[in-house]
Chain A
Amino acid sequence: MLRFLTRRSIGALFTLLIIAVVTFFMFFAVPGDPARLSCGKVCPPESLVLARHNLGLDHPIFVQFVQWLAGIFVGRDYPTLGHCPAPCLGYSFVNKEPVFAAIVDRLPVTISLTIGSAIIFLVFGVGTGVIAGLRQGKPLDKIASVSSLIGASVQIYFIGTLAVYFLVFQWHVVERPRYVPFTENPLEWAYGLLIPWIVLAVIFTANYTRMTRSTMVEQLSEDFVRTARAKGMSNRTVVLRFALRGTLIPIVTIFGIDLATLIGGAIITETTFSLQGIGRLSIAAVVDSDLPMLMATVVLAAAAIVVFNVIVDALYAVIDPRVRLT
């Protein structure tokens, strides 16, 4: 296991480096001059030169990348902004604040959004899928299949906007979504994120229901399940110890990807519910041509994918005894 984790970690770092290089160089391939955007409307030539210098854009692109990379490990000094301590992901072109501080500030919102919704969609998605699989062809199965099809068809900006409009503004059932830190008030934290969690869960639950149902049906027809039944095991034991275990393999795979995607920034969800998380930060970075912020959010999203992939691979061995990590 240790060898496996070490090898995968080294591979993950290499992957992140490639992503960082590609993102950095792609930024400069896109038209538009961040220095011109940060200079005033009437920008004399010398002011433009200073703007480039202040943003660290007056060096060759390769040097800029090396400076950015070195800053992560040893910090970095900016001509007019001062010292940015390690891990320095740069100063935001727009906010003139260290990017790392902004990420640290926004990450709790995104993690809260992710954890809450993940618990809901995992429990309901897998639960409904298992029941539908066990009741194949019965009314319960049909209801679950139709519901999940509808859930998978709607979009967050549609259902989210409707939910806020009716539940908050028309019927006053709940208050508008907001983020209160968990450490400040756990109840308010959960209450404030309830609608985003439910809306997000509606979308994701559908996929898990469909995936769980089809895999469960498949598992129930496997030889080892038939053997277990032939040995006289109870239906409960057969389902929970054998069929469900096999069902979880693809579920864990998509769960890892979904979790990583959400932590990388649920852009539409955060925008729909006016939550200030990583997603909003990344979309603002794109709009404002804010390279350091863009780099940080892209690398964070990539890191989440890579890390969860490693975790998922490790979990395979726990769930399925046939898998051995080497």
Chain B
Amino acid sequence: MSTRTRSVLAVLAIGALTLATACSKGNAGGTTAGGSPGASASPTNLTALFAPPKITIGTADDSKGPAIPPEGVVKGGTVNMIDRDDYPHLDPGRVYDNVTANFHLMISRGLTGYKRVATGEYKVVGDLATDAGTVSDGGKTWTFTLKDGVKWQTGEPITSADVKWTIERLFADFPIEGPPYIQQWLTEEDFKKAYKGPYDGKELSNIETPDDKTVVFKFNEPHADANYAFAMTGYDIVPKAHDTKEKYDKDPVSSGPYIIAKHVLDKSMDLERNPNWDPATDPIRGAYPDKWHLEFGYQSLAVTDRLIADAGDDKKTFSFYTNVAAERTQQVLQDPALKDRILRQPSPYGDYYYFNLDRVKDIKIRQAIAYAWPTKQIQTVNGGPDTSVINTTILNPSVSGWQDYDIFGFKAHPEGDIAKAKALLAQSSNPKPTIVYGYNNTPTQQRETVAIKNQMAKIGVNIVAKPMDTKTWYDQTSKVDNGLDMYWGGWGADWPTAATVFPVIFGPVRDGGYNQSHLNDPAVTAEIKRIMGLSDANEANQAWAALDKKIMETITPLVPALNNLALQLHGSLIGGAENDPISWVISPNTIFLKNS
């Protein structure tokens, strides 16, 4: 996961207020058009409002093409897409952010990917591979077989040598932006030291290619969800024969349904069909339009006004990631004429108010603050229930195996349980504690901080608010000795299991790291290690969910923050538009043009 705004760290600091932080590529799905589902449900009930997506591992049959078409699909035509930014990288090995990954669904393919089976239901299937991979040796060895008929845009077949080359080139000096997982699993954490890439003729011995179709990965440790990792765009395949190293980033060779016909950097891009892409080999991409015209440079308000007006060619226009501008939110939600063109989807990322466990050592104080937390007030200053839903767990509901719980009554008492908090504080080591609270110095965060300060005063907690610069937010809060007791932080899973959540946010405590609560509990560390070693993905998912609840019950290192809702519009002739609950953007896989 990284950011659309090309600034991972800044976005991690700003958090779910931006769409930027994102990661794993996903397939289309989620709530359908037609406004907020579950209108009768409580507006703060996340579970009732938006059912979490179901993500399972598919079979070889599931991995066969073509993709399952959305209802009423029509083929042909030119679709327009408008957004703020162009894509920072066209070389898939340099892609880590959700928006760029989403675009890459049109021009590149990997060993595995996410297939939309139905609304909110997905399967990890073989993309170029015949299935989602065969695991052996207790989870250490993964074998993939390539499908027949998968080709580059040049007409040349995609081979196991291309797959091996793709992974090996990620060790070279230029691809530094992509995900590190497979490289680390094959070598060591600081993987660029271990191997310098294939360009000087040296190979990685633990990637084997016994024939043109088969590729075998031998990891140092078991990794039950390697097939999820391979679904990241960063591991999409690059042709060995046409790898131009750094220059590939400007002129990639397509394995997907489209090729780039014209690209004017930061302005526009035109895509045309790849004649060598065979839908029969692809269970993921529908690729219904004949052409795509992408334009960049549009701010949220400009996009919103064009899509509201729905005039001329804008009827065939949508945006991958631009949300409705804040000043138009109420207008869009209240206009019945727009109801059928609205998409809403909660963020798949985890946002938290971390306690610094080095400083707030008494769990009773932490739990008292959690009980009294002004969730409802914070929601109000952030735009109300129309713009966010209340989260109660460490894992985001979109993560496989997520289980709901509400230990501190964030949903039951969104205004805060003052009596319970006071009782706990009375039993604590300091009934009148002072908490240094660091916050991003933005107008919304300022209002949020006032709400927190006022609420905490009611239970006798003195909040010393410390405004911090947005641009250096992460640099400051990620220092071990940051001088703060509590602060906001965000993290998103790189694929929808907890394997890229807990080992990171409760991983090594170091400057610049992501363990922002400084949780260093031997029992938690041992349990994380145990689960990481499990070869059964379902068993691992259940264990992660149990660990989630246990950490909140026994340690309470954080207070879960609100889960922001994306609100997007599309033109009236756009069909199949769904906000992907995994990547939180509109997937191109199901988009089609309705008959006018």
Cross-chain contact of B190 among A36, A44, A280 (Cβ < 8 A) = A44
Give Cα A50 to B96, complex, Å: 17
Return chain B residues, CB-CB under 8 Å to A105: 264-265, 267
Residues from 210 to 258 in A contacting B, C-beta threshold 8 Å: none
Interfacial residues, chain A to chain B (CB-CB below 8 A): 31-33, 36-47, 50-51, 53-54, 79-82, 94-97, 102, 105, 161, 164-165, 168-170, 172, 176, 271, 274-276, 280, 287-289
Return chain A residues, CB-CB under 8 Å to B189: 44
Give the residue name and chain of the A residue nearest to B194 (CB): A46
Give Cα A301 to B7, complex, Å: 26
Give the residue name and chain of the A residue nearest to B234 (CB): A40
A-B Cβ contacts below 8 A, count: 117
The answer to whether A81 touches B246, judged by C-beta atoms less than 8 angstroms apart, is yes
Those 7 A-B pairs whose CB atoms lie nearest each other, nearest first: A46-B192, A169-B309, A44-B190, A31-B472, A80-B174, A41-B2, A276-B297
Q: Contacts A31-B475, A32-B475, A102-B265 given; indicate if A39 touches B305 (C-beta within 8 A).
A: no
The answer to whether A94 touches B88, judged by C-beta atoms less than 8 angstroms apart, is yes
Q: A44-B190, A80-B245 are in contact. List 10 more A-B contacts (CB 8 A).
A: A31-B471, A36-B9, A41-B1, A42-B179, A45-B190, A47-B176, A47-B180, A50-B174, A168-B309, A288-B7
The answer to whether B311 touches A95, judged by C-beta atoms less than 8 angstroms apart, is no
The answer to whether B471 touches A32, judged by C-beta atoms less than 8 angstroms apart, is yes
Kindly provide the distance from the CB of B592 to the nearest chain A CB, expressed in whole angstroms: 25
Tell whether B301 is near chain A: CB-to-CB under 8 Å.
yes
Tell whether B61 is near chain A: CB-to-CB under 8 Å.
no
Give Cα A90 to B52, complex, Å: 47
Tell whether B178 is near chain A: CB-to-CB under 8 Å.
yes
Give the residue name and chain of the B residue nearest to A275 (CB): B297
Residues from 79 to 113 in B contacting A, C-beta threshold 8 Å: 86, 88, 96
Cross-chain contact of B299 among A53, A94, A168, A274 (Cβ < 8 A) = A274
The answer to whether A40 touches B302, judged by C-beta atoms less than 8 angstroms apart, is no
Return chain B residues, CB-CB under 8 Å to A96: 246, 249-250
Main secondary structure of the interface of B (DSSP, over half): loop
Tell whether B298 is near chain A: CB-to-CB under 8 Å.
yes
The answer to whether B178 touches A40, judged by C-beta atoms less than 8 angstroms apart, is yes
Q: Contacts A50-B192, A94-B88, A274-B302 given; indicate if A37 touches B265 (C-beta within 8 A).
A: no
Tell whether B308 is near chain A: CB-to-CB under 8 Å.
yes
The answer to whether B311 touches A38, judged by C-beta atoms less than 8 angstroms apart, is no
The answer to whether B305 touches A164, judged by C-beta atoms less than 8 angstroms apart, is yes
Give Cα A185 to B504, complex, Å: 55
Kindly provide the distance from the CB of A183 to the nearest chain B CB, expressed in whole angstroms: 15
The answer to whether B306 touches A161, judged by C-beta atoms less than 8 angstroms apart, is no
The answer to whether B177 touches A172, judged by C-beta atoms less than 8 angstroms apart, is no
Q: Contacts A44-B192, A274-B302, A280-B297 given; indicate if A50 touches B173 (C-beta within 8 A).
A: yes
Kindly provide the distance from the CB of B74 to the nearest chain A CB, expressed in whole angstroms: 27
The answer to whether B193 touches A161, judged by C-beta atoms less than 8 angstroms apart, is no
The contact string, 1 if C-beta is below 8 Å from chain A, for chain B 171-199, is 00110111110001000011111000000
Give Cα A317 to B193, complex, Å: 67
Residues from 7 to 38 in B contacting A, C-beta threshold 8 Å: 7-10, 12, 23
Give the residue name and chain of the B residue nearest to A93 (CB): B6
Tell whether B5 is near chain A: CB-to-CB under 8 Å.
yes
Tell whether B469 is near chain A: CB-to-CB under 8 Å.
yes
Tell whether B212 is near chain A: CB-to-CB under 8 Å.
no
**21 A-B pairs (CB sep. < 8 Å):** A40-B177, A41-B96, A41-B179, A42-B180, A44-B180, A44-B192, A47-B176, A47-B190, A50-B174, A51-B176, A80-B173, A81-B246, A96-B250, A102-B265, A161-B301, A165-B305, A169-B306, A169-B309, A275-B297, A276-B267, A280-B297
Give Cα A105 to B23, complex, Å: 31
The answer to whether A169 touches B311, judged by C-beta atoms less than 8 angstroms apart, is yes
Give the residue name and chain of the B residue nearest to A288 (CB): B6
Return chain B residues, CB-CB under 8 Å to A53: 173
Return chain A residues, CB-CB under 8 Å to B12: 41
Give the residue name and chain of the B residue nearest to A161 (CB): B301
Give Cα A47 to B174, complex, Å: 9
The answer to whether B265 touches A38, judged by C-beta atoms less than 8 angstroms apart, is no
Return chain A residues, CB-CB under 8 Å to B311: 169, 172
Give Cα A82 to B250, complex, Å: 13
Give the residue name and chain of the B residue nearest to A39 (CB): B176
Give the residue name and chain of the B residue nearest to A95 (CB): B265
Kindly provide the distance from the CB of A252 to the nearest chain B CB, expressed in whole angstroms: 34
Tell whether B266 is near chain A: CB-to-CB under 8 Å.
yes
The answer to whether A50 touches B176, judged by C-beta atoms less than 8 angstroms apart, is yes
Q: Contacts A274-B298, A274-B302 given; indicate if A40 touches B173 (C-beta within 8 A).
A: no
The answer to whether B176 touches A94, judged by C-beta atoms less than 8 angstroms apart, is no
The contact string, 1 if C-beta is below 8 Å from chain A, for chain B 102-130, is 00000000000000000000000000000
The answer to whether A40 touches B2, judged by C-beta atoms less than 8 angstroms apart, is yes
The answer to whether B246 touches A82, judged by C-beta atoms less than 8 angstroms apart, is yes
Q: Contacts A31-B471, A40-B177 given; indicate if A95 touches B266 (C-beta within 8 A).
A: yes
Kindly provide the distance from the CB of A45 to the nearest chain B CB, expressed in whole angstroms: 6
Cross-chain contact of B176 among A38, A97, A161, A275 (Cβ < 8 A) = A38
Give Cα A47 to B512, complex, Å: 14
Return chain A residues, CB-CB under 8 Å to B264: 105
Return chain A residues, CB-CB under 8 Å to B192: 44, 46-47, 50
Q: Contacts A42-B179, A165-B305 given; indicate if A287 touches B5 (C-beta within 8 A).
A: yes
Q: Contacts A81-B246, A102-B265 given; indicate if A94 touches B6 (C-beta within 8 A).
A: yes
Return chain B residues, CB-CB under 8 Å to A38: 176-177
From A43, A45, A53, A274, name the one whose CB has the most chain B CB atoms within 10 angstroms.
A274
Kindly provide the distance from the CB of A28 to the nearest chain B CB, expressed in whole angstroms: 14
The answer to whether B88 touches A95, judged by C-beta atoms less than 8 angstroms apart, is yes
Kindly provide the distance from the CB of A266 to the nearest chain B CB, expressed in whole angstroms: 14
From B6, B176, B306, name the one whose CB has the most chain A CB atoms within 10 angstroms.
B176
The contact string, 1 if C-beta is below 8 Å from chain A, for chain B 519-559, is 00000000000000000000000000000000000000000
Give Cα A288 to B3, complex, Å: 12
Kindly provide the distance from the CB of A128 to the nearest chain B CB, expressed in whole angstroms: 31
Give Cα A102 to B192, complex, Å: 32
